Amino acid sequence: MSIGPARPALFLDRDGVINVDRNYIYRVEDFEWIEGAVETIRAFNERKWWVFVVTNQSGIARGFYTEEQMQGLHVWLHKELEARGAKIDRIYHCPFHEDGTIPRYTRDSFDRKPKPGMLIQAMTDFPVVKEQSFLIGDKQADLEAAKAAGIRGFLFTGGNLSSFAEWALADLGETR
């Protein structure tokens, strides 16, 4: 089964970019959208871009919540976006951290940003036009992962994500 022709991808960090970062979000009742997040995802869907989330989830390794609880939030996230006319093509997460307390997750990982594993996996799983793709993150580690994966990265420090994403797209030389 083919998933279509190659196209650019928008990579988004989750906590601090899609939702307000309140440390270890895994419950729906703690999730609060960043202003413009849904509109950003929908706008890039309309442009026929891939939209991926790449998120470090060290709270799993640290025993604050389970991978199943995180997956439950992600199922809800997909449904919420669908109800608003938007979609994320895939969410990639890294549950590993060297300082974890859960043995199966306590290790280094090529997927943990600033390493580029999740981005490279997305570009392996989907036909991505790497030269036109970019990442929006809220930490230096996000930008380092983007650079290591061979794409541009932009540091989001707050405000309206939709306005920021349009600025980033313009900075890449793209037009609406």
Is 156 within 8 Å of 17 (Cβ atoms)?
Answer: yes
**SS3 state at 19:** strand
**SS3 state at 72:** helix
Q: What φ, ψ does residue 11 adopt, rounded to 5°?
A: -100, 130
Annotated catalytic residue 15:
yes
Catalytic residue among 15, 89, 111, 142: 15
The DSSP call for residue 139 is S
Beta bridge partners of 45: none
Annotated catalytic residue 171:
no
Catalytic residue among 13, 111, 138, 142: 13
Is 176 within 8 Å of 160 (Cβ atoms)?
Answer: no
What residues are annotated to the active site?
Answer: 13, 15
